[in-house]
Structures are given as C-alpha cells and as structure tokens.
C-alpha cells in the first residue's frame, strides 16, 4: 500500500491555523490529525484527547527521556510535542497526517523526515493578527503579549517553509491548503 504524506502547518498564534485545520479535516478524506501533548492547562471547553493530550511536566519530561517524541518544543512558556508512533502508524496505513505545530518543531520534523511538506500560515498584517487574537478571548493580556512577540520571530522563519498561505480571505486560504494536500 502507498504510504501517506506528512503535512506540517505552522504560523503565529491567532492566524487561523485551527480554523483551517478543521476545514481541511472535514473536507479531505484520508487526512488525519495528530493530537499533540502539552503541559499547557486546558482552556475552557477543551477536552483531554480532543484538542491535546494534557499532561504534567513530569510526564512530558519522562516521554522526552523515553524518546517518544518526533519533535517537541518550549512554546509560550509550555512544552508541546508530537508523539512519533502514532504518526508512523497512520502513514503506514496510507493516511495523510496533519501536524499543527510551532516553527521550531516544524524544522525538527523536516530534518528527520525530508519528504514532510511544510506549510506556513501568515496573517495579512500584524494588526489583523492582534485583532484576531483579541477577538478570540482565550488569552490573558500577558499571554497575548507573549504570543505577539513570538509572532514576529515566527514570521521571520517563513522562508524555510515549502508553502506560505496568507490567511486573508478564509475560503481562499482553505482552497489553497486543499490544493497543496490533494
């Protein structure tokens, strides 16, 4: 059976990655999402095993020492990582796998899996990014500041990606993503 392909979606917090991901998972057959582990606390409405596997720092450190992660990174004061085995199993089954991870993680994946396709989602402007992040009402002022500062660093790395999608009009951005994956 033909093996699946690995797609990695990155971009600053609030740019619309989650929105694009949901649309892609609804629209595209044989595309599965790899649920990451994080030490971040669940936001209201988030459920363990749906958005993330929410784990303690101790558990995360243990999984690092057991070499269970394909990649992991320290992002906005917490750890986030992709469990390797689940990704490998899905690819072997012939499914395409979508990761939604930060830039440091994406570059680690590319080093280990050369045929991974890296897709960067960019905002039409930093002002619009801030508007979206504020509009989402999920972060404290402090957390939002950290995310906006990190956004500038992340944007400077977009040239390392195979594709850059500017998420201005949502439908057009979804269509661009669909074309890359299909």
Among 59, 93, 112, 136, the residue binding ligand ADP under the rule CB under 6 A is 136
Contact between 82 and ligand 5GP by CB under 6 A: the answer reads yes
> Shortest gap between Cβ of 99 and ligand ADP (angstroms)?
13
Alpha helices in the chain (DSSP H): 17-27, 57-65, 84-92, 103-112, 126-136, 141-155, 170-181
Q: Do residues 35 and 53 lie in contact, with contact meaning Cβ atoms separated by under 8 Å?
A: yes
Among 81, 129, 161, 177, the residue binding ligand 5GP under the rule CB under 6 A is 81
Q: Do residues 181 and 31 lie in contact, with contact meaning Cβ atoms separated by under 8 Å?
A: yes
Measured from the CB atom, the residue of 71 and 139 that comes closer to ligand ADP is 139
Q: Which long-range contacts (CB under 8 A, 24 or more apart) does 137-140 make?
A: 138/43, 139/13
C-alpha triplet 54, 87, 2: angle, nearest 5°: 160
Contact between 170 and ligand ADP by CB under 6 A: the answer reads yes
CA distance 132 to 73: 24
Nearest-CA neighbor of 104 among 35, 142, 153? Answer: 153
Measured from the CB atom, the residue of 101 and 109 that comes closer to ligand ADP is 101
C-alpha dihedral, 168 to 38 to 87 to 152, nearest 10°: 30
Measured from the CB atom, the residue of 17 and 29 that comes closer to ligand 5GP is 17
Contact between 5 and ligand ADP by CB under 6 A: the answer reads no
Per-residue interface string for the shown chain with ligand 5GP, residues 94-123, x marking contact by CB under 6 A: ------xxx-xx------------------
Measured from the CB atom, the residue of 91 and 150 that comes closer to ligand ADP is 150
- Within residues 52-71, the interface with ligand 5GP by CB under 6 A covers 71
> Bridge partners of 54?
38
Which residues of this protein are in contact with ligand 5GP, per CB under 6 A? 13, 36, 40, 71-73, 75-76, 80-82, 100-102, 104-105
Which residues of this protein are in contact with ligand ADP, per CB under 6 A? 11, 13-19, 132, 135-136, 167, 170, 173
């Amino acid at each position: 059976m033909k093996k699946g392909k690995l797609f990695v979606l990155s971009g600053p917090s609030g740019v619309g990655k989650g929105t694009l991901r949901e649309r892609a998972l609804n629209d595209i057959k044989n595309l599965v999402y790899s649920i990451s582990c994080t030490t971040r606390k669940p936001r209201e409405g988030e459920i363990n095993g749906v958005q993330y596997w929410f784990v303690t720092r101790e558990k995360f450190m243990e999984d690092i020492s057991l070499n269970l992660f394909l990649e992991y990174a320290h992002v906005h004061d917490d750890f986030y990582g992709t469990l390797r085995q689940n990704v490998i199993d899905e690819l072997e089954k012939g499914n395409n796998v979508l990761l939604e991870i930060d830039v440091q993680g994406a570059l680690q994946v590319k080093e280990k899996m050369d045929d991974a396709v890296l897709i960067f989602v960019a905002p039409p402007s930093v002002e619009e990014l801030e508007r979206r992040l504020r509009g989402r009402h999920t972060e404290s002022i402090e957390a939002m500041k950290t995310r906006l500062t990190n956004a500038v660093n992340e944007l400077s790395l977009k040239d390392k990606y195979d594709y850059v999608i500017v998420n201005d009009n949502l439908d057009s951005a979804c269509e661009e993503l669909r074309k890359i994956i299909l």
